DNA sequence: AAGTGGTCTAGACCACTCC
DNA sequence: GAGTGGTCTAGACCACTTG
C-alpha cells in the first residue's frame, strides 16, 4: 500500500461529507468501519484528522456531525467583541479565574516589573454564539492597574474597559503564533476533543508611551478558528 | 481515572526529556511502554503529542530524540532568506515543480485575471540548515511576469528576484493562518511524521499601485516553526 | 539480521446522552 | 438500557536504518 489506509478512508469520507449537508450526522464509527472494511481504529484515525481539519465535530454519546466553516479572527489589537460582531457572531465570555499572583521571571520581564510583584491573572473562555472557541489568560501589573478588579465586568470587554474607563491608549504589540496540543483541562474548558491541535497565541502590548500593558496567552480551537493578518512592507 | 493515561505518561516523559539534553535519544517505544507499565499504543499517543508540541522528533529506523526549540519566522512581507539569516540559520530551497497552469475561479480572483489565463505555479521546499521546514506554492500571472522562468533561479529568493530584477515594489498584503493535517505527499516532502498538525498560511500581496502580485500557499511544519507578528493599533 | 518507528487488527471496557 | 464516542490492551506485520 502506497498511502496509509486511514488516508484513503479519509479521502472517501470527504466525499461522504460533501453529500451530506452541514450539521448532518455521520453514521456511527462502528458502522462506517464495517462498511469500509477497516478496523475501528483506522476509521477513528481518519475521523480524528477530519476533526482536526475542522470538517467534522464529534460529541460523545451523540454522534459525529459535519462541521461549519472556521471563523476567521483578526490578528490585531482590536476588541474581541467588535471582531466577532463584524462576522455576524454573538460574542460572549465566561469567567474561569480572576486572581492575584506573583510575577515570575518571564512575567516580570514582559510587564516591566520586579519578580514577585503582584499581577492580575484573568482567565476567561471566549464564546462565539455560545460555543467556546478560545481560552484567554491575561496578566497585568496590579501596581499599574490597581482598580481593575473594581471596574472590569468579568463578561465585559477588557479592551473597552481599559480604553474607556482607565484611559489606556494602545501603541504597538507583538504576537507569537504556534500550534500545540491542549492539556486535558484546557480541552475540557473548550469543550473540545482531547489531543487535538490548537493555535496558541502569545501577545504583549504596550501603550503609546511604550509602557507594557498586558501579557496574554490565548489558546484557540484549531478546528474552529483561523487568523487574518495584514502585512505591511 | 480522571485524566487519560496517555496524558499522565506524557507528563512523566516531559520530566525525562528535561533530564536528557537536546538531541539525546529516548529509549525505544517498546522499552518505555514496559517500564511505564502501559501498552505501546498509549506510549505512542504520548510520544505523538510531544512530537506535535515540538519536544520530540522521531526518525524511522533510528529512534526518538529530544528536539531543538521551534524557529520563529516573521509574519511579514520580507524575504525568507533574510529572515532565516537573522536567526543564524542557513536558508535553502529545493525545487519541486515550476509549471504553467490555467487559473481557476479562486486564482483568477486573487490575481486579478480571467479564468483560464496562464499562471506560474512554483512549488518549493523551504530548508533551514538543510532541514525541510515548509512547502511553499506560489501562483503568479504569466501575462504580468512573462520572463519569470528566465530570471528566477529555482533555489534563489523570489522576493529578491521580483524587487531587484523585475522592479516590483511590494505594497500591502494579507495573510491567513490556520492549522491543518498534512497530506501524505506533503508530509513526505517535509520529511515529517504523518498526520501531524501543520501551520497553513495563505498570502496574497499587491504592489504599491494595488495590483495583485502573487497568491501563496505555505505549509509549515507545526512542530518546528512558529510565527511572530507586529500589531499596530 | 537485528532493531527501530509506522500501521493496522480485534476486542474490551468506560463515559456520556437519550429514551 | 441501548447506543454513541473515548480510552486502552495485546499482538501482528511493514518500512526503514544501521551493522
For every residue of A45-114, DSSP letters joined together read HHHHHHHHTTSEEEETTTEEEEPPPPEEEE-SS--HHHHHHHTT--EEEEEEEEEEEE--HHHHHHHT--
B170, B140: one domain:
yes
Q: Which residues of A94-103 are buried (b: 16+ CB within 10 A; e: fewer)?
A: eeeeeeeeeb
Note the pLDDT of residue A73.
94
Q: How far is the CA of A184 from the C1' of C14 (A)?
A: 17
pLDDT at A215: 98
Does B233 map to a domain? no
Do B97 and B196 lie in a common domain? yes
Determine the pLDDT at residue B5: 96
The domain total for chain B is 2
Residues B58 and B143 in one domain: no
- Consecutive H or E run containing A228: strand A225-231
Within residues 204-233 of protein chain A, the ones with CB less than 7 A from nucleic strand D are none
What b-and-e string marks burial along B126-159, b requiring 16 or more CB atoms within 10 Å of the CB?
Answer: bbbeebbbbbbebbbbbebbeebeeebeeeebbb
Residues of chain A found within 8 Å of residue B75, distances taken between Cβ atoms: 75, 177, 229, 231
User: Does a structural domain hold residue B146?
Assistant: yes
For residue B233, give the chain A residue with the closest CA. Answer: A77
Q: Judge: B75–A231 Cβ closer than 8 Å, yes or no.
A: yes
Residue A112, domain member (yes or no): yes
Q: Is the pLDDT of residue A28 over 80?
A: yes
A73 touches strand D (CB under 7 A): no
Read off the pLDDT of each residue in A156-180 and give the average, rounded to a whole number.
94
In this structure, the strands spanning A71-74 and A225-231 are: parallel
Q: Whole-angstrom Cα distance, residue B58 to residue B44?
A: 11
Picking from B66, B84, B104, the residue at the C-terminal end of a domain is B66
Looking at the fold, whether A32 and A89 belong to one and the same domain comes out as: no
Neighbour tally for B14: CB within 10 Å: 14
A182 pLDDT more than 60: yes
Judge: A177–B227 Cβ closer than 8 Å, yes or no. Answer: yes
Residues A137 and A175 both lie in one domain: yes
Q: Are the beta carbons of B225 and A181 closer than 8 angstroms?
A: no
Whether B231 and A75 lie within 8 Å, measured CB to CB:
yes
Mention every residue, 6+ apart, whose C-beta is less than 8 A from residue B93.
B124, B125, B126, B127, B154, B155, B156
Record: contact B199-A222, CB cut-off 8 A: no
Give the residue-averaged pLDDT of A141-156. 94
Q: Is residue B83 domain-shared with residue B49, that is, in the same domain?
A: no
Distance CA B154, CA B96 (A): 9
Report CA-CA distances (Å) from A15 to A66, B184, B194: 12, 18, 21
R_g of chain A, CA atoms, integer Å: 21
Residue A60: CB less than 7 A from any atom in strand D: yes
Percentage of chain A with pLDDT > 90? Answer: 92
Query: Straight-line distance from CA B60 to C1' C10, in Å?
Result: 26
The CATH number of the domain holding residue A92 is 3.40.1410.10
> Does residue B42 lie within 7 Å of nucleic acid chain D, judged by its CB?
yes
Our CA-based measurement puts residue A124 at a distance from the nearest CA of chain B, in whole angstroms, of 22
Average pLDDT, chain A: 95
Of B177, B194, B233, the CB nearest to A171: B233
Residue A77 in contact with residue A205, Cβ under 8 Å? yes
> pLDDT (tens digit, 9 = 90+) per residue, A122-132?
999 999 999 99
Q: What is the pLDDT of residue A142?
A: 98
**Domain end point (choices B49, B66, B83):** B66
Residue nearest to nucleotide D14 (CA to C1'): A1
Residue B2 has what pLDDT?
Answer: 81
DSSP per residue, A199-221: EEEEEEEEETTS-EEEEEEEEEE
Any atom of strand D under 7 A from CB of A42?
no
Are residues B160 and B60 located together in one domain of the fold? no
Measured between beta carbons, which residues in chain A are less than 8 angstroms from residue B7? Answer: 183-184, 194
One domain for residues A211 and A167: yes
Contact B212, B203 (CB under 8 A): no
pLDDT of residue A78: 80
| Averaged pLDDT for residues A185-197 | 95
pLDDT the model gives residue B215: 98
Same domain, B77 and B50: no
The cell numbers describing A140, all together, are 497585568
Task: Return per-residue pLDDT of chain B as tens, 233 residues.
Answer: 589 999 999 999 999 999 999 999 999 999 999 999 999 999 999 999 999 999 999 999 999 999 999 999 999 878 888 899 988 999 999 999 999 999 999 999 999 999 999 999 999 999 999 999 999 999 999 999 999 999 999 888 999 999 999 999 999 999 999 999 999 999 999 999 999 999 999 999 999 999 999 999 999 999 999 999 999 87
B46 contact residues in A (CB cutoff 8 A): none
CATH number of the domain within which A38 lies: 1.10.10.10
- Are both A54 and A94 inside the same structural domain? no
Size of interface A-B (CB pairs under 8 A): 136
The residue among B36, B66, B96 that closes a domain is B66
**Range of A118's domain?**
71-228
Q: Which pLDDT tens digit goes with each residue over A76-118?
A: 878 888 889 988 999 999 999 999 999 999 999 999 999 999 9
> Does residue B156 sit in helix, strand or coil?
coil
Residues B202 and B90 in one domain: yes
Residues of A in contact with B176 (CB under 8 A): 72, 226-229
Residues B101 and B195 in one domain: yes
Query: B138 lies in a domain?
Result: yes
User: What is the C-alpha to C-alpha distance for residues B87 and B68, in angstroms, rounded to an integer?
Assistant: 14
Q: Are A110 and A119 in contact (CB under 8 A)?
A: no
Instruction: Please tell me the predicted confidence (pLDDT) of residue A111.
Output: 98
A195 and B45 within 8 Å at the Cβ level: the answer is yes
Q: What is the pLDDT of residue A92?
A: 93
Strands A63-66 and B212-221: unpaired
Window A24-83, strand C contacts by Cβ < 7 Å:
37-42, 45, 59-62
Note whether residue B110 is domain-resident: yes
Q: Is the residue at A233 inside a domain? A: no
Say which residue the cell 516523559 belongs to.
B13
Amino acid at each position: 500500500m502506497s498511502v496509509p489506509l486511514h488516508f484513503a478512508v479519509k479521502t472517501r469520507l470527504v466525499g461522504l461529507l460533501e453529500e451530506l449537508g452541514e450539521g448532518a450526522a455521520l453514521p456511527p464509527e462502528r458502522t462506517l468501519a464495517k462498511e469500509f472494511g477497516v478496523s475501528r481504529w483506522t476509521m477513528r484515525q481518519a475521523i480524528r484528522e477530519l476533526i482536526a481539519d475542522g470538517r467534522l465535530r464529534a460529541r460523545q454519546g451523540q454522534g459525529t456531525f459535519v462541521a461549519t466553516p472556521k471563523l476567521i479572527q483578526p490578528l490585531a489589537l482590536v476588541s474581541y467583541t467588535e471582531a466577532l460582531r463584524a462576522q455576524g457572531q454573538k460574542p460572549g465570555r465566561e469567567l474561569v479565574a480572576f486572581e492575584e499572583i506573583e510575577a515570575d521571571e518571564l512575567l516580570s520581564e514582559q510587564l516591566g516589573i520586579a519578580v514577585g510583584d503582584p499581577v492580575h491573572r484573568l482567565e476567561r473562555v471566549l464564546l462565539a454564539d455560545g460555543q467556546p472557541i478560545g481560552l484567554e489568560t491575561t496578566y497585568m501589573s496590579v501596581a499599574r492597574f490597581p482598580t481593575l478588579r473594581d471596574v472590569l465586568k468579568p463578561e465585559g470587554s477588557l479592551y473597552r474597559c481599559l480604553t474607556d474607563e482607565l484611559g489606556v491608549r494602545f501603541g504597538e504589540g507583538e504576537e507569537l503564533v504556534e500550534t500545540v496540543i491542549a492539556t486535558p483541562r484546557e480541552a475540557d474548558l473548550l469543550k473540545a476533543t482531547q489531543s487535538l491541535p490548537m493555535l496558541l497565541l502569545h501577545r504583549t502590548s504596550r501603550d503609546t508611551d511604550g509602557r507594557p500593558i498586558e501579557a496574554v496567552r490565548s489558546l484557540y480551537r484549531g478546528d474552529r478558528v483561523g487568523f487574518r493578518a495584514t502585512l505591511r512592507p
